Amino acid sequence: MDVRHLELLRDLRERGSLAAVAAATHRTPSALSQQLRTASRAAGTTLVEPHGRGLRLTEAGELLADGADDVAAALARVEARLSEHRGQPVGRVRVAGLPSGLTALLPAVFTQLAGSGVDLEVDDLDLAEQDYASAVADADLVLAHSLTSEIPAGSAGLHRTVLVQEPIDVALPQGHRLAAKDRLTPRDVIGESWLAVPEGYPFDTVLQRIEAECGRAVQRRLRMRDNQLIAALVASGAGVALLPRFTTGTDAVILRPLTTVLSVRWVVALSRPDRAERAAVRLVTDELIASGRALTRNHA
């Protein structure tokens, strides 16, 4: 069985249609259909079947799709040993993920990799927590975050590496009455006007914990995705917000830790198991870990 056929079956399962696979891999649906027919002949059994207006994997197709990562990981391990033999990893590594995490961690990685044989390609993705896992289809490493555990939603079966554990603080405008306090409780902030994130985004979990402890709802004046925009509006006096401690790069707001409720996020690198075995990907992951450790030391 050709490993490319295994990967095609896996991609079809993940992306849901031949058209989506074709768009992502720069091939035509007709060419992919021909490959599926070739794969079925080689396997001696039907691997896909009609489903609605598209296709779905048969039981045999699912079995082979499950093996795609194992086969690709074995090949990646061999290639990694070859890279070690040559003296250094080489190749392009595609990194995607949440903008604040990339902002905090990537600059140091670029500095460390300068002059190496590894090139970085970067894409910032502002998504709900459960959507980051699906981005591994198009990237070697995806920086996701979770406010509940080290395992972001939807990442079961993926290779996961915790890069940093970052407190989420209450952001206040200069001169706010609560700025005189070193720490804030939910009851201190329950009555404030909040600049919040969309429903399903991790930071909203902290507001829900505040509501649960106080037994009443907070006022969400606005819902926005971009942390820099939120920080600018906090500085203007439009409300208060939750912002990550390490990656809020402004002196225009005051950050105060929140006590008695869990208010921390894990920033985690996700990847397919086979891509995690690539020597270049391992090198970038190691540098991201080092960057996270430096951030933690600098804010201790």
Tell me whether residue 297 is exposed, middle or buried, using C-beta atoms within 10 angstroms of its C-beta: 0 to 12, 13 to 18, 19 or more.
Answer: exposed
Same domain, 102 and 65: no
Same domain, 59 and 23: yes
Same domain, 149 and 239: no
d(CA 198, CA 14): 26
Per-residue pLDDT tens over the stretch 8-39: 888 888 888 888 878 777 788 887 888 888 88
Give pLDDT, residue 212.
Answer: 96
Same domain, 188 and 232: yes
Give pLDDT, residue 60.
Answer: 86
Same domain, 64 and 176: no
The answer to whether residue 182 is domain-embedded is yes
Same domain, 160 and 274: yes
What is the CATH classification number for the domain harbouring 211?
3.40.190.10
Same domain, 141 and 286: yes
DSSP 33: H
Same domain, 139 and 198: no
Domain with 46, as residue range(s), is 3-70
Q: Are the C-beta atoms of 270 and 152 separated by less than 8 Å?
A: yes
> Bridge partners of 271?
159
Residue in 37, 47, 59 with CA at minimum distance from that of residue 9 = 47
Domain count, the chain: 3
Give pLDDT, residue 140.
Answer: 94
- Are β-strands 159-173 and 219-223 bridged in parallel, bridged antiparallel, or unpaired? unpaired
Same domain, 255 and 278: no
Give pLDDT, residue 2.
Answer: 76
Q: Under 8 Å CB-to-CB from 116, ≥6 apart: which residues?
A: 88, 89, 283
Same domain, 24 and 157: no
Q: Which residues of the chain have pLDDT under 70?
A: 1, 76, 80-87
The answer to whether residue 75 is domain-embedded is no
Same domain, 223 and 111: no
**Buried/exposed 9-45: b ≥16 CB within 10 Å, e otherwise:** bbbbbebeebebbbeeeeeeeeebeebbeebbeebee
What is the CATH classification number for the domain harbouring 42?
1.10.10.10
